[in-house]
Every structure is written in C-alpha cells, then in structure tokens.
Amino acid sequence: MVTSKVLQILVLFILFCITQASASHPKGLRVHLTRVDANGNFSKVELIQRAARRSHHRMSRLMAKTMKAAADSSSKVQSPVHAGNGEYLMDLAIGTPSLPFSAILDTGSDLIWTQCKPCVECFTQATPLFDPSSSSTYKTLPCTSNLCEALPISSCKSNCEYLYTYGDTSSTQGVLASETLTFGSTKVPNLAFGCGDTNQGDGFTQGSGLVGLGRGPLSLISQLGMGKFSYCLTSLDQSKTSPLFFGALADIKATATNTIPLVKNPMQPSFYYLNLKGITVGGTQLTISSSTFALQDDGTGGLIIDSGTSVTYLELAGYKMVKKAFISQMQLPVADGSDIGLDLCFSLPSDSSSVEVPKLVFNFDSADLDLPANNYMVVDSSTGLLCLTVMGSRGMSILGNFQQQNLQILYDLDNEKLSFAPIQCDQL
C-alpha cells in the first residue's frame, strides 16, 4: 500500500514537472513589430529618406565588420564588430514584476540587451530603466557559463562582464545575466541578456535596447530552442504592425511556398546568407558573372537577408548591370534622387497611371524571388519621382526589407533553409 502511494505521488510529481516545463518553454510565440518611424507623423518621402539614410549607415557597418573579420582572419583575432540598429521595434517586458519596454529587432547580431540601473552612461529612452534589484528573477551569470564564453569580448570579476560593439561609436557594456522575458502574455524564464550600464549610440535611441535574432548562441531564437521563426513585414506606408512568429506558429500557411538553402559563412556565423545566382530585369536574364555574388574564402562577398536594412545593396558590378537594364527599359528621363537618398530615379510624366515598370526577379538556388513593383520602386508624388530601392555596394550584398514587404519569410534553422510566400501581412 505504501509502495502504491509512493508511486502515485511520484507520477503526480512527474506530471507537475512536465506541465511546468511546457509552461516555461512554449511551443510557439507571436509578437508584433513596429517600424521605428511609425509614430513619427512623417510623409512617405520622409519615411523613405530616413530609411535610406539608416540603411546606408547600417550597410557601412556590416561591410566594416566583414572587412575587419577578413583582415583579422590571418592573425586569428576575433572581430568584436556587430550589426546593430534596425528598422523594427519589438514590444516585450523584463523581470518579475515585469517592466515593459521596446527593443530594436536585429537579425544581424545575437545579444539581447537593455539599459539597466544604476547607469554610468545611458541614452534617453521612453520607458523607465530596468532595475535588477527590483526583480525577483534576476540572476547574474558566472564567467564559466557557456554563454559568457560565447561573447566576443568579456572579462571576469565576480560576474561575467561584457563589451559588445557595433562597428562605430555604438556599444553596450555591462553584466551578462538571466531574466524572465515576457512576450505578449507568455513568460519565458532564464533567458540570458546584457544588463547594460554604459551604452552609447545614436541608432539605439528608438528603443530601450536590442534583441538579436542572429544564428549565434546568445540570440533569442537560439536560446528559445524553437528551431525556426518567421516574420511578415507590412508595407512602408502602413501604420499596422508586422507579425513575428517563433516555433510551432512560424510555419507558412500558403500553398505556393518557395524554399532555398541557407548558407553559412564561418567568418560571419551570425548572418543569414543566401546563394544569389543571377538577376532578371523585365524578362531578360542579366549576364552577371557567377562570381559577382559568391561568398569568398576570406568571408567577404555573398548576400545576406537582413530585416534591419531597408534598401537592397548589390555588389557594384552586378548593380551596374541592373541599373543599365532599368534605364534602357523604363524609357523615362533619369532624374536626380540624391535628396531622397537613392541612386536611380526617373521623372514621371503628368499621367503616371500608364507607366509600366520592368519586372525584377532575384534568381536563387532552387527558387526565384519574383517581386511586385511596390517592393522595389517607390513613387514620390510631391517631386514626381519614381525611384529604385536598390543601390550598389562593395564587399557584400544585402537583401533589404523594402523587398521583403508582404512576404512571409520563414527561417528554418533546424533544416538550414529559408522559405517565402506572398501574403498580405496585415491579415495574418
């Protein structure tokens, strides 16, 4: 009889543990993303100008990281330069009791961090600073933890202290700790984050920190262990939020889904690389050399997909051919787009309803990304300009978020593939 009681209690205890574990580690999450300028009362052309300016700055930083890593590879020095900044904010909360805040979403870096009291140097943020002493679930991480060892720069006193830099004067510095983060109504305990008491950088001021969604062990997707995430970005001129899904909720429901392999770059393990084979403009396959967008042995080159860059940047040799094809096929006068921050613009006729835009298709391994015109051409009615949201670069190429609008994009990390399908994102 005693044995039966013991077994019964043991079974109940196991069931309780399973229930607690499933509650602590949800199978799926949904959160909402907001464009950083969504509440700024900007005109469409101002939105484009601001996004183009940030894109150029971010592209420069991404390329600086790539070039530095290539230069350091011969001496085996690990580059501390990361992506930083972004175009979308995620609403979440931290601690127990929970403190809501907004953080920049960044698929180009890994660390999750927010500003913490007592601050040595902090930028102004819209929400109160997180006070670790007021949370019952805050714990500092020891220097022996795997995640402390995953930091590019760390030091050890009584706790794991970090410095995470972003390629210019932007940086966060503080203590690596663990906390309960809340996404919507779902609480996830024991997530590692940077509790930053010394933080610098103009690009961070839209939020109160940053959530890295890269491929490294410190990123949110890696720590959740859900294996996949997807997002669907609403149009630039829409005020509606964009959904971000994790785990079981991330799958694409559309039947017409395209899938391409994700490529790894050992020199840049956090970035999501795709193998761009060619480009088609207006039905004509451009004669771009196969090496133009290829990933090089030193870690340079290649193309990444990035949520934090708005404009698409193509290696200059390939971009020049794209530009030439659009000029020859548009049959409109070329205009100066420098005020908008874009390279190729055209003057629209008085009756712009009859203007036809050549198709733009990116040819990847095993699938083509056939873009609607709104995903690569923008109209500024105030100046009568029609501009291409693609520009040239040197050292790497970036598929930006203008081109990702109204596509659900699934990052399947378990199977190393990326899938996409056209969907009205505001209806998901």
Q: Cα–Cα distance between 346 and 333 in angstroms, integer?
A: 6
Task: Read off the pLDDT band of 102 (50, 70, 90).
Answer: very high
Q: Are 222 and 191 in contact (CB under 8 A)?
A: no
131 is catalytic: no
Res 18 pLDDT > 50: no
Q: Cα–Cα distance between 29 and 185 in angstroms, integer?
A: 10
Chain segment 34-68, per-residue pLDDT in tens: 998 888 888 888 888 999 988 888 887 777 666 66
CATH 2.40.70.10 domain residues, the chain: 27-247, 258-427
Task: Read off the pLDDT band of 15 (50, 70, 90).
Answer: very low
**CATH 3.20.20.10, applies to 258-427:** no
Which one is catalytic: 37, 72, 251, 306? 306
Chain segment 207-218, per-residue pLDDT in tens: 899 999 999 999
Q: How many helices (H) and strands (E) does the chain have?
A: 5, 28
Tokens of 337: 């787009």
pLDDT computed for residue 60 by the predictor: 79
Max mean pLDDT range (101-110, 145-154, 415-424): 415-424
168 is catalytic: no
Q: Cα–Cα distance between 161 and 148 in angstroms, integer?
A: 8
Chain segment 221-234, per-residue pLDDT in tens: 999 999 999 999 99
CATH number of 27-247: 2.40.70.10
Res 14 pLDDT > 50: no
328: helix, coil or strand?
helix
Residue of higher predicted confidence among 205 and 245: 245
pLDDT computed for residue 45 by the predictor: 85
Amino acid at 135: S
Chain segment 147-171, per-residue pLDDT in tens: 999 998 889 888 999 998 876 668 8
DSSP 214: S
Which one is catalytic: 37, 72, 91, 106? 106
Q: Look at 11-20, 63-72, 340-349 and tell me which has the smallest mean pLDDT.
A: 11-20
Tokens of 321: 């051919």
Name the residue with tokens 């997807």.
230
Chain segment 342-374, per-residue pLDDT in tens: 999 999 988 777 788 999 999 998 999 999 999
178 pairs with which residues across the strands?
A: 139, 192
Q: Cα–Cα distance between 329 and 343 in angstroms, integer?
A: 17
